[in-house]
Amino acid sequence: MKIKSLVLLAAYNGEQFISQQLQTVLNQTNKPYKILINIDQSDDKTESIVQGFAKKNPEIQILNLNMDNKKYKQLF
């Protein structure tokens, strides 16, 4: 039985490194079942990079931790 995992990432103005981070996680042999990423109001291209990865990888979900608690609790 394979162990499933949950990866939590916080990103703020991380366009220089976010692609490499995500690709490293996605390349793991024990694939995560969910990658949750909170983008904290970055003013660079971090969000668009993550959105591109999320379109190609359904296990990636972008969070907005400013959402109300009911929606946040439904993620788990």
Of the pLDDT bands very low, low, confident and very high (cuts 50, 70, 90), residue 6 is confident
Q: Cβ distance 10 to 41 under 8 Å?
A: no
Listed in sequence order, the DSSP H helices in 1-76 are: 18-26, 46-56, 69-73
Instruction: Tell me which residue of 32, 18, 30 sits closest to 60, measured CA to CA.
Output: 32
Rounded to whole angstroms, how far apart are CA atoms 60 and 42? 18
What predicted TM-score, i.e. pTM, was given to this entire model?
A: 0.77
Task: Read off the pLDDT of each residue in 14-24 and give the average, rounded to a whole number.
Answer: 95
How high is the pLDDT of residue 1?
42
How high is the pLDDT of residue 4?
77
Rounded to whole angstroms, how far apart are CA atoms 67 and 76? 14
Q: Cβ distance 42 to 14 under 8 Å?
A: yes
Q: Is the pLDDT of residue 25 over 80?
A: yes
Task: Read off the pLDDT of each residue in 43-62 and give the average, rounded to a whole number.
Answer: 94
